Structure 1
Amino acid sequence: MASAVTAQNPPQKTAWMEVFVLWFAGISAAMQFAKFSVSYNELLAYYQAGPTWTGASISVVGTIGLIFGVTAGLMAGKIGYRKVLIGALTLGACLSFIQATLPSFEVVMATRVLEGFSQLGVVVAAPTMIAKLSAPQHRSITMGLWGTFFGVAFALTGLFGKPLITHFELSGLYLAHGLFMTSMLIALLLLLEKGEGRYSATPLPNNDGYFTKLGKIYRTPQTLLPGLVFVFYTCTLVSLLTYIPNFIESNSLRTTMQVVLPLLSTAGTFIAGTLSQYIMRPQRVAQLAYAGLAVGAILLSQLYDSVIVFTLLISQMVLFAGLIPGAALAMIPRLARNSEEQANGYGLIAQLGNLGATVGPPSFATLITAFGLYGMVGLVLFVCLMGSLFAFLASRLDS
């Protein structure tokens, strides 16, 4: 029976339908970032709140993950992953419907804070459930698929968001997002078993206090190392996608690359899942990714005069960078000893990922301002060195 599946008795067949719907649920959660990113100019014009506060309305969602990422992993294991996921999607849909009424900016900011909890609930519960619903021979592939959810969300929102705003204004975009989240909620209510047994192993008795548990997560290599591999990726990729196109003089080519580069990153993430499943361990994939990123950066610093070569090299760098999240996510079910450690690992990835996304762009901006392209290349090389080191240490756990 499905409910008899445990960490010691993994499923023999992958529940592909549930896996794909959980992936779409992740996309709907990532759209909580993307919908305000794509509508930034319209928000600025409508609310007249100024660039700082309007920008804060985008980033505040990630701040919740930065503060409560690990806590969410602990709570999800205690409450139940299905309950957390259903609750997070319900909250997210309701908040989008509130935003569609275009309330005051103060109310908008309050909804954005609450959306941070909704987004965090999904990104902790959904990948844990995907791992539990995946047969061992497919687990790295499904984790690679999950790792694409953020890039796919931005691509879909970029594709459909502007037309929705053009025809139905801001209300249309936020209403459409609320309907999408609602459809994912209904689909999962129909697909997922009501019992939690299929999605988590029986928890081990643990009477430790909250801070003791928190400290244990940071001291446990199985949960910490994938997050440390991941944090250097988020530190770098957002900055590469933001600043590298500015070195391209051609306006048309720059615009094209702003579309192509996120797609290459998404492709790299899915490729990492396939490599991790069939060819090499995810730790080796991460090492390969950081090595490829470093080689691209070195060549970029020497061959930046040719526009074609420059474009090919930045494409190669973003593709290799895209391998990293797929590898880091695949490490978690491989290294974790039970579903509780898996959830803690995803919570820590959410926390450290938001940390990287917060400190990365200003760090790159500072060095680019001071040293130009060489400043960016130098920081990329440092990131690759540290990411490779933690991937190597993770490989020692699985040797």
Structure 2
Amino acid sequence: MTQDNPPERTRSLLILVIWGAGLGAAAQFAKISVIYDRMAAIYGAAGGAGIGLMVSVVGIVGLLFGTTAGLLAERIGYRRVFVGGMALGAVLSACEALLPPWPLMMAARALEGFSQLAVVVVAPVMIAQVAQPRHQGLGMSLWATFFGVSFALTAFAAPPLVAAFGPPGLFLAHAGWMAVFTFLLALMLPADPPGAQAPRLRLPELVRQHGAIYGSPYIAAPAAGFIFYTLMYVALLTLLPLLVPGAQRVWVAEAMPLTSIVASLSLGVWLLRFVPAIRVVQLGFGLSALAGLGFWAFWGQAAAVLACVVLLSAGLGLVQGASMAAIPQLNAAPGDRARAAGAIAQLGNLGTTTGTPLLAALIAGQGPRAVLFFVLPLSLAGIAIHQWMAARRARQLDANQWGASAPDL
């Protein structure tokens, strides 16, 4: 499907502003992760598991309400949801700088989950809306890097801020970032069209809409593959460095996110000029499957293992960017794009939440061979789910064409 009424020109500066807002949304996870020990010392009674929950509660909101957010954004208006979500994030981060008691801190973190969800659901819709079709691949691939880039920038900026001002300094800096981009988005985003609200969503209609989203081979397709990416990416980023010798550990930890970003913005963008996004996703899963086999065949050989790390990271980088690019390629209407982005948020958070404990359990039982048993089936499943979705789309297209040409009976 193609975009209806594409813009006369790509609004590149606005796309960069949207990406900057995404960096702030991802930092809602990163700002706790990078000072995990300091937060554990402050909220010692909660223990390590409690601080882990402080990190993950933002994603749990997305897991529970991802597709619902896509439906509500269509009703409320994309600009209102985006700007409101960013403003809410700024206020909450400023409140967290007060280091409130544990229950209030967790309440603020849960509300931050709604702020983060508003951004990740609406941003892909807005990028597709302000980019010409020939630039959508680049815009969506750039958007797909927001999580990894944000973690890297937060890890770089946090130590001096925390050393000088403690955790409140980091939270206030994040609040300032969110506030600046709230202002820029309010200034630059196109206005919501008047009277374009969707029907009111009562519970039976909400259930029906969820069924329609996950039953559609167009709307659900980007998320159906993306879950296998999220199952692997965070788990491997966390645990794979621990499996290699100490001398290689830092290199692997740094190379994985960097290679993914570079592959997505270079090879991925180039491929998207000639190849449908879904095929690029399948290619990425194919590369990650080969890397899994390489780990099994060459484990213990330093150079070969490092080459497999690069291959795996590049493959997952292709999956990352092309999955986002598939949203506007497969869905022409803004409402369908918001639903697709909501499904990605929901299934993506499911993968992120479950992937690391799954891989940890495999490693406990199988040792380094667990990487093969983890990567290979998930990569093949990602290829297969997209092949099945493509077959369903082809059948629907054939049925529609036959129906259009059939005589009235």
TM-score of the aligned structures, taking structure 2 as reference length: 0.91
Residue in structure 2 matching 1:137, options 130, 134, 139: 134
Maintained 8 Å contact 1:298/1:377 = yes
Question: Partner residue of 1:187?
Answer: 184
Question: Partner residue of 1:103?
Answer: 100
Question: Partner residue of 1:383?
Answer: 378
Aligned ranges for residues 281-292 of structure 1 at < 5 Å?
A: 281-292=276-287
C-alpha separation between the residues in 2 aligned to 1:276 and 1:83? 34
Answering whether residue 8 of structure 2 is matched by residue 17 of structure 1, we say no
SS at match of 2:192: coil
Give deviations 1:361-395, integer Å, cap 9, x for gaps.
Answer: 11111111111122221121110111001222344
Aligned ranges for residues 160-309 of structure 1 at < 5 Å?
A: 160-193=157-190, 195-197=191-193, 209-251=205-247, 253-271=248-266, 273-309=268-304
Maintained 8 Å contact 2:77/2:197 = no
Offset of residue 205 of structure 1: 7.4
Give deviations 1:287-336, integer Å, cap 9, x for gaps.
Answer: 11111111111011111121122122112211211211211111110111
Maintained 8 Å contact 2:76/2:197 = no
Aligned ranges for residues 277-356 of structure 1 at < 5 Å?
A: 277-356=272-351
**Which consecutive residues of structure 2, in runs of 5 or more, have no partner in the other structure?**
398-409
Paired AA for residue 302 in structure 2: V
Question: Partner residue of 1:3?
Answer: none
C-alpha separation between the residues in 1 aligned to 2:386 and 2:208? 26
SS at match of 1:178: helix
Q: Between the two proteins, what is the percent identity of the paired residues?
A: 38
C-alpha separation between the residues in 2 aligned to 1:361 and 1:209? 35
Residue in structure 2 matching 1:35, options 23, 31, 37: 31
Paired AA for residue 217 in structure 1: I
C-alpha separation between the residues in 2 aligned to 1:139 and 1:273? 12
**Which consecutive residues of structure 1, in runs of 5 or more, have no partner in the other structure?**
1-5
Offset of residue 127 of structure 1: 1.1
Residue in structure 2 matching 1:126, options 123, 128, 133: 123
Offset of residue 26 of structure 1: 0.7
Offset of residue 240 of structure 1: 0.9
SS at match of 1:222: coil
Offset of residue 228 of structure 1: 0.9
C-alpha separation between the residues in 1 aligned to 2:317 and 2:125? 21
Q: Please say which of residues 342-351 and 304-313 is displaced more in the overlay.
A: 304-313
Offset of residue 269 of structure 1: 2.7
Q: What is the root-mean-square deviation in Å for CA atoms of aligned residues?
A: 2.0
Paired AA for residue 46 in structure 1: I
Paired AA for residue 357 in structure 2: P
Offset of residue 272 of structure 1: 5.8
Aligned residues: 390
C-alpha separation between the residues in 1 aligned to 2:52 and 2:75? 35
